[in-house]
């Protein structure tokens, strides 16, 4: 009979004997657990040398000795010689040290589980009799798939310290919510959600998960930010796991920094699960690359609340792509300021409404007429506005995409040096 035990090896000495394929594989896994690994082999593989070159492990290039096991919490015998592995297992047994014998599970005192991770849970499978690594790995994979499919309630059962997890849900398509975001939702006792983002997925939560809607629209802020902060802190201090579910990425005009500060000031543990920002994802899905070699080599992401900010006008004048969030109402002022600064009146402007969803719509115009065209088309938030050559209709099909603009040079004459680092 084998008893399953989870070992905390962080910072503890683990000796791996054998620096071939198996030893290196086991070493990588132990490094993920933050173990202090000593790798012993008279002829280590190139992979083992590369790992050691980064300072991740201590590499001992000689035959193993009994004293190498002194102070070890775990020993892994992973050479290609069964006799050596058996000797290491015997030394470990005499020292009272757990030992995994990679060539003969029956002679070691421990076995490495086929392990998978899901958030803060580790899922491990071992054979209790004749070792069968492939069989164990197959069962592990099936279990991980089952958990990943949302078939298991991952909420904590024991009372404990509450926490807040800020989750970016992406631009709206549930497929763009990260795996980490989905896992955080499955641990939530309370979800405090925005109006935008992949909110449809909240219908899949257990019925007893409390969902608090604090969503805002451009002219309607029913729940002030201070009240949102209070809700997060109050639930966390009551011992609950709170997911703050936000559209896009929490740190890209999502006021995530303010919420983190409020939680930390109240002594609440807070974690961040970044999201795919709408500033880049929505244009990409609409066929607009925000950078393109030789066309737009920089991009400025800004908020329409800043209005005709000098930085926005300067970026457009310099040929950068400008991505505007929350800018439908301020677009006229921004375009007027850019035109006054001498920006090309025909510079393409694209407004993408409800990006990544089935209701996505793209409206295009030139800089001089953009505000008028968008108003006539009834463009409404949520929308991302892109200004720059990359926003032209059919840009990816046009030869401008394949033919970079002339590269500026330093100096003059036939020996001038291109400034583009890719040339």
Token pair for residue 398? 């046009």
Which neighbouring-strand residues pair with 292? 296
Taking the C-alpha atoms of residue 234 and residue 187, their distance in angstroms, rounded to an integer, is: 18
Whether 316 and 327 have beta carbons less than 8 Å apart is answered as: no
Residue by residue, DSSP assigns 113-172 as: -EEEEETTEEEEE--SSS--HHHHHHHHHHHHHHHHTT-S-----S----EEEEEE-BSS
Provide the strand spans (E) within 200-240: 210-213
* Phi, psi for residue 73 in degrees, rounded to 5: -90, -25
Provide the strand spans (E) within 57-103: 58-60, 74-77, 98-101
Whether 328 and 384 have beta carbons less than 8 Å apart is answered as: no
Which of 296, 240, 293 minimizes the C-alpha distance to 263?
A: 240
Q: Catalytic residues, which ones? A: 194, 216
Taking the C-alpha atoms of residue 328 and residue 241, their distance in angstroms, rounded to an integer, is: 36
**C-alpha distances out from residue 295 to 70, 338, 386, Å:** 62, 19, 14
Give the β-pairing of 36-40 and 13-17.
parallel
3-state SS assignment for residue 13? strand
Residue whose tokens read 């896009």? 248
Taking the C-alpha atoms of residue 136 and residue 114, their distance in angstroms, rounded to an integer, is: 6
**C-alpha distances out from residue 118 to 3, 8, 147, 154, 205, Å:** 22, 17, 8, 10, 18
Whether 23 and 16 have beta carbons less than 8 Å apart is answered as: yes
Which of 390, 396, 361 minimizes the C-alpha distance to 377?
A: 361
Q: Give, as one character, the DSSP assignment of residue 389.
A: G
Provide the strand spans (E) within 237-316: 241-246, 269-273, 299-303
């Amino acid at each position: 009979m084998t008893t399953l035990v989870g070992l905390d090896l962080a910072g503890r000495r683990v000796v791996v004997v054998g620096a071939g394929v198996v030893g290196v594989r086991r070493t990588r896994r132990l490094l993920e657990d933050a173990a202090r690994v000593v790798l012993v082999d008279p002829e280590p593989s190139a992979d083992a040398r590369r790992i050691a070159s980064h300072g991740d492990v201590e590499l001992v290039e000689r035959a193993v000795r009994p004293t190498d096991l002194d102070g070890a919490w775990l020993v892994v015998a992973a050479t290609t010689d069964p006799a050596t592995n058996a000797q290491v297992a015997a030394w470990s047994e005499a020292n009272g040290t757990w030992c995994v014998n990679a060539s003969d599970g029956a002679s070691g005192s421990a076995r490495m589980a086929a392990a998978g991770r899901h958030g803060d849970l580790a899922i491990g499978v071992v054979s209790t009799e004749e070792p069968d690594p492939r069989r164990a790995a197959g069962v592990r994979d099936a279990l991980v798939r089952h958990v990943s499919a949302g078939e298991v309630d991952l909420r904590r059962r024991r009372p404990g310290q509450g926490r807040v997890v800020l989750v970016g849900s992406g631009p709206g398509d549930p497929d763009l919510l990260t795996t980490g975001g989905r896992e955080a939702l499955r641990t939530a006792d309370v979800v405090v959600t925005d109006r935008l983002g992949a909110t449809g997925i909240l219908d899949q939560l257990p019925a007893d998960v409390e969902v608090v809607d604090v969503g805002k629209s451009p002219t309607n802020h029913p729940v002030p930010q201070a009240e949102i902060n209070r809700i997060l802190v109050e639930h966390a201090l009551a011992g609950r796991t709170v997911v703050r579910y936000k559209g896009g990425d929490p740190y890209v005009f999502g006021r995530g920094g303010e919420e983190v500060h409020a939680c930390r000031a109240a002594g609440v543990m807070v974690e961040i699960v970044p999201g795919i920002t709408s500033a880049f994802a929505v244009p990409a899905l609409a066929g607009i690359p925000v950078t393109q070699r030789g066309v737009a080599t920089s991009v400025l992401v800004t908020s329409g609340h800043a209005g005709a900010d000098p930085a926005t006008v300067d970026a457009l004048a310099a040929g950068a792509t400008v991505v505007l969030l929350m800018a439908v109402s301020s677009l006229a002022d921004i375009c007027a300021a850019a035109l006054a600064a001498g920006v090309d009146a025909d510079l393409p402007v694209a407004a993408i409404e409800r990006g990544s969803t089935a209701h996505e719509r793209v409206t295009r115009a030139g800089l001089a007429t953009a505000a008028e065209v968008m108003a006539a088309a009834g463009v409404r938030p949520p929308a991302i506005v892109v200004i720059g050559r990359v926003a032209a209709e059919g840009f990816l099909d046009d030869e401008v995409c394949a033919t970079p603009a002339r590269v500026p040079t330093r100096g003059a004459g036939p020996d001038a040096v291109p400034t583009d680092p890719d040339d």
